[in-house]
Amino acid sequence: MYNITDYQQFDNDNAYDGNDLGVVFCDGKTQFRAWSPLATAVYLNLYTDGEGDNLIETLPMERHDRGVWFVELLRIAEGDFYTFTYEFDYKDKYETIDIYARACGVNGKRGCILDLSKTNPYGWDKVSRPRCESICDAVIYECHVRDFSIDETSGVPWEDKGKFSAFTQSGTRYEGVTTCLDHLKELGITHVQLLPVFDFATVDESKPYKAQYNWGYDPLNYNCLEGSYSSDASNPVKRINEFKKLVMTLHKNGIGVIMDVVYNHTYYTEESAFHKSFPGYYHRRNKDGSFSNGSGCGNETASEHLMYRRFMINSLKFLATEYKLDGFRFDLMGLHDIETVNIIRDELNKFDPALLMYGEGWTGGESPLRSDLLAFKWNSYQFGRVGLFNDNIRDAVKGGTFNPYDRGFISGNVNAVYTLKRGIAGSVPHWQINDDMSPEACWAFEPTQAINYCEAHDNHTLWDKLTISAKHNSREERVKMDKLAAAIIILAQGVPFIQLGQDFLRSKPRLLPEGEQPNEVNIFSHDSYNAPDYTNAIKWNEKLDNIDVFNYYKALIRVRRNNPLFRLRTKEEVGKYLKFLDTGDDSFVVYKLEDAETCLIIAFNPYLDKRNLSLPEGRFYTRLNEQGKMNKFPIRGNVNVPPISAMILKRIKD
């Protein structure tokens, strides 16, 4: 490992700003470039297959300026596989896949040389991206490719279960209720956020029928797709073609595709392609030279080092253009430096300003880089064009995430109300909320930064959390709590985010090891990253069982999308159009959204009994009640808000 004492000076002297690292076709030739300034030699290895003993030849590469190594084949080597061997100090040699490889063989050990235009499905060029004028117009639905369709209740043909191709299947049903693609359309979401679909390390692609599972936060090759989601992992063309069909199908149905990217760490450290190509450069290190672990996964990447920053930008631009993606969700974005995050936003804007960009404003451990330089949530004003997950509204709604017994606003903890109001207002300053009222929850530069959620792939599902924390309440009351949580998240200013299956009470049951006695906590999984399908698969029969909950979520999404007042874009608009009303009880939350055309009253009642609401002047009708229904019967004066429920009323124009 090389101990570079001044990375800024090193980058000034050695960083390469070309866009041709990796493989390039040029005038009937195939060119290869690798960057490794301190290598004493670099070799290109060509193979006939993605694995096995089938070496064609090994060619020495020629050193060019700024640490770039180059070799050229006098033919188009399409279909061949390749690796680079890096030599250091004239003795140590490391063979590895090209970090810039855009296609690969089984388990990502070798890159594949492809003309990617030949992977395009028929009609690819004719399908355009769905457009969002503002990120606040989005309703994001988080999906794991395998979970989506692997269960027998999905209605997807067996050969497509758990694969990219499941997203292209229409007409699937379980006893009359829609599943998979048709479910997405029926629910009314605008974007699907896919958990990682790049090539990850811990699923053996050579054994497609082996019971294997992972969320995918174990990055192997960032620019290649995961082979276990393809019908044939040994065929690089198929995995790309099938993913493009997924994107194309969703686009045809008006649904955007967001990719979950994990540039903050690599699964392997010394054995990673990055470390083998330039030991020590791409990862941060502690003062003693050891790898720092801000990710909690054994290492963290160094976005402040110019060539890793350029790698991230190159990768994102490639993914956005080649796969027509509509946005990116950044895992542990708090580990990336603020300058890099802003540069990425600038570069994505050059391609398409409508591309969504948001991430987690925290880390998984302590980083050696100063916290004021990192993209933490509390530094949000320094990268105001980028969204952040709103853990404040999450915990206010359902209770502390890391204490399964903790209750939130929906389950009777009235102390959470000020944090809740901050979230309702998009986590921006509001003239009715004093600075001493949950100041930590007032963090957003604009409401466009607030990604509001109460459930994601991490931790307990909302339904499991309620089953634990509100175990003394009846099931009927817990269902009402779930619906109230949905109303708060979907109607709050900012961007609503929902996990697949949340809309029909998704649970993650845990297989208990032999001898472990069940209790109200351990029967549910709070960290199912590698749990089997028994835990993670979507059981579509639960949609049938909880169709009233699904219909309520669907109604909320329709109301949000049909009323611009739920999608205010600036803090000035929030201050102008949103007003909290005095109910005489801070925990009976009522607010008004009003502009020149529309007046809406929104009420959230967390109590086990009804609450009386005094309406402003005028006649109103119920736009949405506790069943998700509309009632146009005129109302004046007062209205009762049922126990544990939300209500939306709309003024009738005279």
List Cβ neighbours of 440 (8 Å cut-off, separation of 6 or more).
392
Closest among 235, 385, 248 to 322, alpha carbons compared? 248
145 and 66 in one domain?
no
Q: What are the DSSP E strand ranges found in 201-240?
A: 219-225
The verdict on residue 60 lying in a domain is: yes
**Taking CA 106 as the corner, what is the angle to CA 225 and CA 118, rounded to the nearest 5 degrees?**
55
494 and 410 together in one domain: yes
Q: Determine the pLDDT at residue 436.
A: 83
**Contact predicate 282/308, CB 8 Å:** yes
Range of the domain at 261: 140-504+538-566
CA dihedral 19, 24, 26, 28 (to 10 degrees): 180
Structure tokens at 618: 């005028």
Asked if residue 309 and residue 205 are part of one domain, the reply reads yes
Q: 439 and 547 share a domain?
A: yes
How far is the C-alpha of 168 from the C-alpha of 156, rounded, in Å? 10
In a domain, 120, yes or no: no
CATH number at residue 85: 2.60.40.10
Give the span between the Cα atoms of 303 and 338, in whole angstroms. Answer: 9
Give the separation between CA 187 and CA 254, rounded to whole angstroms. Answer: 12
CATH number, domain with residue 355: 3.20.20.80
Whether 153 and 81 map to the same domain: the answer is no
3-state class of 257 per DSSP? strand
Q: Tell me how far apart the alpha carbons of residues 466 and 481 are, in angstroms, rounded to a whole number.
A: 8
> Active-site residue among 205, 360, 391, 482?
360
Residues 265-321: tens digit of each pLDDT: 999 999 999 999 999 999 999 999 999 999 999 999 999 999 999 999 999 999 999
Residue 108, in any domain of the structure = no
Q: Residue 496 — φ and ψ, nearest 5°?
A: -80, 140
Q: Is residue 24 part of a domain?
A: yes
Last residue of a domain, one of 43, 65, 96: 96
Q: Are 650 and 599 in contact (CB under 8 A)?
A: yes
Residue 464 a catalytic site member? no
Between CA 451 and CA 393 the distance in angstroms is 10
For every residue of 530-541, DSSP letters joined together read T--HHHHS--TH
Nearest Cα residue to 46 out of 80, 69, 2: 80
Q: Is the dihedral of CA 143, 147, 153, 156 positive or negative?
A: positive
Query: Distance between CA 43 and CA 305 in Å, rounded?
Result: 25
Is residue 105 in a domain?
no
**Other Cβ atoms within 10 Å of 31 Cβ, number:** 15
Residue spans of the chain under pLDDT 70: 1
Coil, strand, or helix at residue 25?
A: strand
How far apart (Å, rounded) are the C-alpha atoms in residues 430 and 492?
14
- 544 and 634 in a single domain? The answer is no
| Position 73 in a domain | yes
In sequence order, what are the beta bridge partners of 47?
55, 81
489 shares its domain with 416? yes
Decide: helix, strand or coil at residue 390.
strand
The 3 state secondary structure assigned to 329-369 is EECCHHHCEHHHHHHHHHHHHHHCCCCEEEECCCCCCCCCC
CA distance 289 to 530: 31
Tell me if residue 90 falls in helix, strand or coil: coil
Give yes or no: residues 208 and 341 share one domain: yes
Contact assessment for residue 82 and residue 47, using Cβ atoms and an 8 Å cutoff: yes
* CATH number, domain containing residue 619: 2.60.40.1180
Residue 522 exposed, middle or buried by CB count within 10 Å (0-12, 13-18, 19+): middle
Q: Rounded to an integer, what distance in angstroms lies between the CA atom of residue 346 and that of residue 353? A: 9
Q: Is residue 558 domain-shared with residue 619, that is, in the same domain?
A: no
Nearest one of 642, 604, 600 to 621, comparing CA atoms: 600
Measured distance between the N- and C-terminal CA atoms of the chain, rounded to whole angstroms: 76
Q: Are residues 53 and 146 in the same domain?
A: no
- Tell me 263's DSSP state: T
What is the 8-class DSSP label of residue 278? S
**491 and 592 share one domain:** no
Task: Decide which of 63, 96, 129 is a domain's last residue.
Answer: 96
Catalytic residue among 199, 304, 331, 503: 331
Residues 596, 552 share a domain: no
Question: Residue 469 falls within a domain, yes or no?
Answer: yes
In a domain, 129, yes or no: no
The C-alpha atoms of residue 145 and residue 141 are separated, in whole angstroms, by: 12
CA distance linking residue 217 with residue 195, whole number of Å? 8
Residues 6+ apart with CB under 8 A from 69: 33, 34, 35, 36, 39, 42, 61, 62, 63
Contacts of 380 (CB under 8 A, 6+ apart): 361, 388, 443, 444, 445, 449
Q: Is 258 helix (H, G, I), strand (E, B) or coil?
A: strand
**Residue 331 appears among annotated catalytic residues:** yes
Counting the structural domains of the chain, the total is: 3
For tokens 């959390």, the residue is 465
